[in-house]
Structure 1
Amino acid sequence: MTDICYILDNGAYNAKVGFSSMKPKVVPNCIMKAKSERRRPFIGSQIDECRDASGLFYILPFQKGFLINWDTQKTVWDFIFSKECCPVNFNDTPLIITEPLFNFSSIQEAMTEIFFEEYECQTLLRINGTDLAEYHYRKTHNNDCTLVVDTGYSYTYIVPYIKGKKYREGIKRIDVGGKVLTNHLKEVLSYRQLNVMDETYVINQAKEDSYYTTIRRGFLRDILGPDEELEQQTLRLNNERFSIPELLFHPSDVGIPQMGIPEAIIHCINSCPEENIENLLENIVLYGGNAMFSGFRDRVYNEVRSLALDHFDVNVTLAANPETYAWEGGKYLFRDPDFYSFCMTREEYEEEGKSLAFERFDI
């Protein structure tokens, strides 16, 4: 047995990766190509070396939340596991890797095969990111029921857990995530100001810097005075700063006939056994990139509070670091005395084949 494991939260936009003994690295899960440097692809965090971020072209392994471009994903994984990023020897290090809820059996099968046969992994655990988030919350709050809200790049999932197990009848999916928000922002700005339809990378940065609680790149400039001159190209963001994230609460604004997050939370909880409703309302946890929008937690709380019955308490927790919350759950899970019983070994794979993986991993 080893003292550390390797955790890969394989998100559709960013992969969170690292050993359980360290802080995770956040690596873009894509390959990018730039107009100014056509010959060189930028893999993962190599994008930091790009001199011109305008006109960057994404090649993504995920579409609509599922891994379908294996060549791209394998290239990114090779980069992640290399000396340039976060090197690992799978011969003596267990691997925890996340995959989407209700993942297609063909994708599950391919992932198992790649890690056992190509990467020669000795111990593997495939698991949903929401499972890791729930485990994280349960270990730090000591509760029996948790409602996990995962709002990421491709979608938003609301998943109820009762005594550590997914209650599948209550799971809700909303087809709005960071990708929809960025694409809608591109369309609005292109209609109102200048054509930015080819500037996905730049507009995604603008969305994060303008709407998130932490400014990570550049700055937001105040309105110019009458005697001041503009020194650089500027996008003027007015009501877009709140109308874009509003799609998480009203997907119908862009023609998606689905309920918003607070209503979906109530529908999800009401689909669960009556005796668990109160506990679920008291243990709602938000994580994922969209949870970083300023005021997101308060908005969800206020609307859920207004929709829930008055005699129930409502508690909504925003993960301390929404982007890496599931990854951190992997650290807690690795410390579980039963951890290795959840995993599959290469020896088991060679003896019993892929069918055992379907039995072992609750996807």
Structure 2
Amino acid sequence: MTGGSGVVVIDNWGGLLKAGFGGDNDPIAVVPNCMAKPPGGNASSKKWLVADQLQAEDVDVTGMTLKRPIDRGYLINTEVQRDVWERVLRNLLQVDPTNSSLLLVEPMFNPPAIQHATDELVFEEFGFNSLYVADGPSLVHLYEASRQPMMFRAQCSLVVDCGFSFTHASPVLQNFTLNYGVRRMDLGGKALTNYLKELVSYRSLNVMDETLLIDDAKEKLCFVSLDVPGDLHLARLSFKDNPFRCSYILPDGITYKKEFIKDMDEALRYRTLPQESDSKDHGMDTNKSEDRKKAELSQNEFVLTNERFLVPEMLFHPIDLGINQAGLAECIVRAVQACHPYLQPVLFESIILTGGSTLFPRFTERLERELRPLVPDDYKVKITRQENPIFGVWRGGSILASSPDFESMCITKSEYEEMGSARCRRRFFSLNRILSFWRSSFSVGQSLRRSESCL
């Protein structure tokens, strides 16, 4: 069975794969874009688990060996990607690709060799009828413009995507990503998880092989600090009762089948408080949780304290950790400054946050504090985090896939077989689209000049 439009929409990123049908509000499948094999030597343990199989309640992900089709944002293993797509299309979407079109979200600046490999996968392995390739920022803008009248009228935005492999700041004008203005940080959710693994392994327990577990701990326990020196000072003053302290229990296969946080109330008590609150009066009874135990640390347990806010700090001040890159606020400013001066005030007022890392508590507030001193005083700064940063790109793809003109924008299987991948791909960067962009840019500049003359 298929959705109303008969178009499959796949947001194919390194961490999570989102798949569903054009016209739907939410994807049907939101699964890890990887394969994993449990440790051990018996025959049953050698079976590779794919996509949603890793999310089953009875699966212990401890020590699993991972295979990812995407590394550093780009497709490197088409065999693994084929197995993941096969699982998603056949078992979760229950769709026959030979009777469907595909809207695929690809990373920006995808090399021609990877584009060719992707087209082979789509047309030769799965036999889709037609293909349209879109980039994430333009789809995020499309979705938000359909919801926000102000953004629809301005027709431009700055999409900040804190993804799995990279973080991009991308100016978008009339659903067209201005590639010359895109700025990238080589930091994303994967780098944060790896950093947390290193900190935990150095301080308490070797978890370097526990990627899935540490990823879960990061998502549940980490938060963005609004005052890093102050929080570090607070932790030193209360060393024996660190307000950030919480314990994470790893599964042992006997007592605990799944990982969990020892005391959720204790874990949440600080990060949900206003920054100015007195640390000595948290206003919560930390003994309510049934999972709270008085036993000492075991070999299946580790404690997080300052790591909870030092890990997300990588995105804001990577230089403090020895990473020679600009922080997120400076990355945004550089992206805006690369655009025409008439677009710059509009872009600063239309910043959209998407991607899983933007879900850290206080992320938006911290970014605004970092960004405001770098922006001219007469410019407004408005930052909007998507309602669901995980689904934002996919929902934009769903809107586009359900539009009446979608099929005319696609490459068909017969065109691919006749002309090859390289020539077909030129349709996505046609002269008409480029001319349309320049006409739009000129129109925005003219209207902004008229607005200024009326002030």
Which range, TM-score by smaller chain?
Answer: over 0.9
Report what 2:8 is aligned to. 6
Judge conservation of contact 2:9–2:20 (CA < 8 Å) in 1.
Answer: yes
AA at the equivalent of 2:17: A
Q: 1:1-363, aligned counterparts within 5 Å?
A: 3-20=5-22, 21=24, 23-24=26-27, 25-36=29-40, 38-49=45-56, 51-83=59-91, 85-141=92-148, 142=152, 143-211=154-222, 218-219=260-261, 221=263, 222=266, 228-230=294-296, 233-362=300-429
CA pair 362-242 structure 1, distance change in 2 beyond 3 A: farther
Equivalents in 2 of 1:200, 1:3: separation in Å?
A: 37
Helix, strand or coil for the counterpart of 1:327?
Answer: helix
Equivalents in 1 of 2:8, 2:35: separation in Å?
A: 23
Helix, strand or coil for the counterpart of 2:10?
Answer: strand
Offset at 1:91?
Answer: 3.3
State the TM-score, normalizing by the size of structure 2: 0.74
Offset at 1:341?
Answer: 2.9
Per mean C-alpha deviation after superposition, the further-off stretch among 196-205 and 173-182 is 196-205
Deviations 1:252-307, CA, capped at 9 Å, x for gaps: 23432111111110111011000000110111101011011111111112222221
Offset at 1:337?
Answer: 3.4
AA at the equivalent of 1:218: F
AA at the equivalent of 2:184: R
Helix, strand or coil for the counterpart of 1:330?
Answer: helix
CA RMSD of aligned residues (A): 2.4
Offset at 1:359?
Answer: 0.6
CA pair 193-217 structure 1, distance change in 2 beyond 3 A: closer
Q: Can you give the 5+ residue segments of structure 1 that lack an aligned partner in the other structure?
A: none
Offset at 1:356?
Answer: 2.9
Judge conservation of contact 1:301–1:316 (CA < 8 Å) in 2.
Answer: yes
Judge conservation of contact 1:209–1:217 (CA < 8 Å) in 2.
Answer: no
AA at the equivalent of 2:104: I
Helix, strand or coil for the counterpart of 2:301?
Answer: coil
Judge conservation of contact 2:16–2:32 (CA < 8 Å) in 1.
Answer: yes
Deviations 1:27-80, CA, capped at 9 Å, x for gaps: 110001111463111111111345322111111111111111111111111111
Equivalents in 1 of 2:294, 2:322: separation in Å?
A: 41
AA at the equivalent of 2:18: K
Helix, strand or coil for the counterpart of 1:311?
Answer: coil
AA at the equivalent of 1:14: L
Equivalents in 2 of 1:138, 1:362: separation in Å?
A: 22
Equivalents in 1 of 2:32, 2:223: separation in Å?
A: 18
Equivalents in 2 of 1:305, 1:231: separation in Å?
A: 43
Per mean C-alpha deviation after superposition, the further-off stretch among 321-330 and 350-359 is 350-359
Offset at 1:163?
Answer: 2.7
Judge conservation of contact 2:353–2:384 (CA < 8 Å) in 1.
Answer: yes
Offset at 1:230?
Answer: 4.6
Equivalents in 1 of 2:80, 2:182: separation in Å?
A: 30
Offset at 1:176?
Answer: 0.4
Equivalents in 1 of 2:103, 2:262: separation in Å?
A: 39
Deviations 1:152-186, CA, capped at 9 Å, x for gaps: 11010111112322222211010000111111111
Equivalents in 2 of 1:278, 1:64: separation in Å?
A: 32
CA pair 17-193 structure 1, distance change in 2 beyond 3 A: same
Helix, strand or coil for the counterpart of 1:274?
Answer: coil
AA at the equivalent of 2:319: S
Offset at 1:22?
Answer: 5.7
CA pair 146-30 structure 1, distance change in 2 beyond 3 A: same
Task: Indicate the structure (1 or 2) with the bigger Cα radius of gyration.
Answer: 2
Judge conservation of contact 2:223–2:308 (CA < 8 Å) in 1.
Answer: no
Equivalents in 2 of 1:239, 1:73: separation in Å?
A: 37
Judge conservation of contact 1:138–1:146 (CA < 8 Å) in 2.
Answer: no
CA pair 173-45 structure 1, distance change in 2 beyond 3 A: same
State the TM-score, normalizing by the size of structure 1: 0.92
Deviations 1:88-123, CA, capped at 9 Å, x for gaps: 123332211111110010110111122112211112
Q: Can you give the 5+ residue segments of structure 2 that lack an aligned partner in the other structure?
A: 225-257, 268-285, 288-292, 431-455
